[in-house]
Amino acid sequence: MSIINKKGNKNQNLAMVIVGDRCIGCDACYAACKTDWDVLPVKEAYRTKVWDIEGEDNFGNPTIRFLPVLCNHCDNPPCVDVCPTGASFKRDEDGIVLVNSDMCIGCKACMVACPYDARYYDETKASVDKCTFCLPRLNNGLEPACVVTCVGESRNFGDLNDPDSNVAKMMKNATSITRLKEDKGTLPNVYYITINY
């Protein structure tokens, strides 16, 4: 699949592969994430959420779709580019985009730069914060909290550089692959696919 970002110089190419039509909009991911990472107990602070998208079909009948969103851990991350201190950075070894709260000065330039609205400001830490792909869990052999809890098994996570990984196989078998706001040139690592089982 040519759409997959080329990662010749990364050990790992970590990605979230979301089977769009398996999302039932239950928000389990939102709750699992917020509890695991003590995300501020306000609506505005979240690392992942699910958009309810109401629309109409060609016959004027109403439709409902669900779109899970999170940080895309872009290979061309505007948030990292605008960060004046280097607090926002992208890990070389696996592509995860992080914020080092010790270095963040709270200017929020990254929040403006992010086309995905994936960041929030945490007053208690005096730092911008965001999805880490659950790096602390990954580093201890656990999958991301949102993936573990996903009721519809819409969310899948792994290393696209490993042809034996579940996500690599899913991408190979996908019947369609899209990413959000491709036109921004961000090269996201969150993929939305359809697949025939």
Partner 1 sequence: MSRHNLTRRGFLKLAGATGVAASAGITGIPSPLKAAQSNDAKSEMFLHYDRGVQSPSFCEMCFWNCGLNVYTRNGRIHKLEGNPLNPNSNGHLCAKGNSGIDSTYDADRIQHPLIRVGKRGEGKFKKVSWEEASQYVFDKLSPLMKKYGPETLATFMHGTGEPYVHALTKALGSPNIVVPAYSQCLGSREMAWILTFGTGVSGHETYDMANTRHMILFGRNMAGALQVREAEDFAEGLARGAKLTYVDPRLSESCVNATDWLQINPGTDLALALGFIHVIIRDNLVNMDFVSKYCYGFDQLSAHVAQYTPDWASNKCGIDAKTIERIAWDFAKYAPHVVAVPPRRMTRYGNDTQTVRAIAILNALMGNWGVPGGLWVRSGVPIDLPEYEEPKQPTTRRADGAGKGEKYPLAPQNLGRTNGMIEATLTQKPYPIKAWMLYGTNPLFHSSAGTNDIYKAIENLDLLIAIDTQFSDTVMYADVVFPESTYLERDDAPFVQKDKIPFIALREAAIKPIYDTKGCFDICKGIAEKFKIAHWFEHSPTQQIADLYKALSPEQAKKLKDDGVLRFEAVDPYPLASGATPTFRTATGKVQLYVPNLTDFYQEHGDDFAPMPIYKDPIMADSKDTFRLLFGKSPRHTHARTQNNWLLLELQDDNPIWIHPKDAKRLGFSDGQMVYMVNPKTGVKAEHAEKIKVTKRIKEGAVFIHHGFGHTTKAWSRGYEKGIGDNFFVSDDIDPISGAAAFNNGFVTLVKA
d(CA 101, CA 94): 20
Q: What are phi and psi of 29, to 5 degrees?
A: -60, -45
**Closest distance of CB 180 from partner 1, Å:** 19
**Closest distance of CB 176 from partner 1, Å:** 14
Cα–Cα distances in angstroms (integers) from residue 172 to residues 64, 109, 196, in the given order: 28, 37, 11
**Closest distance of CB 183 from partner 1, Å:** 19
The smaller minimum CB distance to partner 1, of residues 140 and 176, is found at: 140
Tokens of 152: 């519809």
**Closest distance of CB 26 from partner 1, Å:** 5
Q: What are phi and psi of 53, to 5 degrees?
A: -115, 105
The smaller minimum CB distance to partner 1, of residues 2 and 63, is found at: 63
**Closest distance of CB 99 from partner 1, Å:** 9
The smaller minimum CB distance to partner 1, of residues 2 and 140, is found at: 140
Q: What angle do CA 193, 120, 40 make, to 5 degrees?
A: 105
The smaller minimum CB distance to partner 1, of residues 2 and 9, is found at: 9
The smaller minimum CB distance to partner 1, of residues 22 and 184, is found at: 22
Q: Which residues of 60-90 are buried (b: 16+ CB within 10 A; e: fewer)?
A: eeeeeebebbbbbbbbebbbbeebeeebbbb
